Amino acid sequence: MQEFSRTYGLGETKESARHSSKPPHSTPHVDVGYWTFWHDRVFRKEEDPMYGSTELRKALRSADSLTSATALLHTLGYFMVAAWSLLVRLQPRAAKILLESTLSRAHIDPNCPFWVWSGVALLRNAEVDPHFDSNDARYGWIAETVAGDFSGGEMFLPQLGIVVPVRPGDVLLMRSGLLEHCVLPCTGERCAVVAFRHESTMVHASMGRTAEVLKQSKTWESPPDDSPAYHKLVTELRGQLSVDSWMKTRRAAAKLNAVVGTE
């Protein structure tokens, strides 16, 4: 199994002349900037039996199995927590804006803010042509993971000129409105889970100066790199989010319940 620890930075790159499709936004020169894309293996291993691809495949095929539905929901939970942890650590300003511009933020637990996303899309075997997601928040990010048993289906990023093999257990963060992307042909069952935030749901008015500063800035944050600090962060997150550590907590809780006599 391949372990990923990759960063992709662009510097001051203009939209590539090789591609005719334009970003949906009005700015004539879109600088996709640093760190428009982040991809790493974080929250589980492909072979973990409980959340493995077989369960997910089943979940996709049948809606009536409680086990399958539970497996899918567990995976979504891991993904959401992983995606949010990463965004907070890697792009704190973006995370802050997502949080602050959420209408019902009074109800959001900042440690587990599922609702900073305006929706979660589930795509099954979708071969997606090169596109910008014009409805997504221009200064926001999407978080994505994939599930299933498939080959192919890599993410291709024409502006960066790279093909990213996104596999189950990976988390991908992307500025989907500014970075052109497509999904290459795949065989087997590939399910993509995309947490997105639509521009129409951003409450820009409440963000005041922060929004202005972000609009003027070419980039969100300085790009994380291959520094020891970056690797330490990823290792830490892997530890926190690994199935092993969650199972340990669960076993400890079960033991405690046994002692106090609760089921």
Ligand X SMILES: O=C(O)CCC(=O)C(=O)O
Binding site for ligand X (CB under 6 A): 121, 123, 126, 128, 133, 144, 155, 181, 183, 192, 194
What are the structure tokens assigned to 84, written together? 């949010």
State the virtual CA torsion across 231, 236, 238, 241 in degrees, nearest 10: -150
192 makes contact, choosing from Fe ion, ligand X, none, with CB < 5 to 8 Å by partner type, with: ligand X
- Other C-beta atoms lying within 10 Å of the C-beta of residue 29: 7
Between 90 and 143, name the residue whose CB sits nearer to ligand X.
Answer: 143
Task: Please report, as residue ranges, which positions from 127 to 166 form the binding site for Fe ion (by CB under 5 A).
Answer: 133
With respect to ligand X, which residue has the nearer C-beta, 138 or 211?
A: 138
Q: Which is nearer to ligand X, 99 or 121 (CB)?
A: 121
Q: Which residue is nearest to ligand X (CB)?
A: 192
Cα 137 from Cα 135, distance rounded (Å): 6
Q: Does residue number 170 form part of the binding site for Fe ion (CB under 5 A)?
A: no
183 binds, among ligand X, Fe ion, none (CB under 5 to 8 A by kind): ligand X
Distance CA 148, CA 155 (A): 15
Task: Report the candidate in 227, 223, 205 with the shortest Cα–Cα distance to residue 32.
Answer: 223
**Spatial contact of 25 and 138, defined as CB atoms under 8 Å apart:** yes
Q: How far is the CB of 8 from ligand X (least distance, A)?
A: 16
Kindly state the smallest distance separating residue 57's Cβ from Fe ion, in Å: 23
Closest residue to Fe ion, based on beta-carbon distance: 133
Shorter beta-carbon distance to ligand X: residue 167 or 181: 181
CA-based nearest residue to 155, from 123, 183, 190, 127: 183
CB 51 within 8 A of CB 243: yes
**Could you tell me how many residues make up the chain?**
263
Instruction: CB nearer to ligand X: give 157 or 243.
Output: 157
Least separation, in Å, of the C-beta of 163 and ligand X?
A: 13
Minimum distance of Fe ion from residue 181's CB (angstroms) = 6
Q: Are 189 and 146 in contact (CB under 8 A)?
A: no
Q: Are 172 and 43 in contact (CB under 8 A)?
A: no
Both tokens of residue 81?
């927590």
* Strand, coil or helix: 134: coil
CB of 92 to ligand X, least distance (A): 25
The residue (of 166 and 243) whose beta carbon lies closer to ligand X is 166
In the complex, the smallest distance separating the C-beta of residue 181 from ligand X, rounded to whole angstroms, is: 6
List of residues contacting Fe ion (CB under 5 A):
133
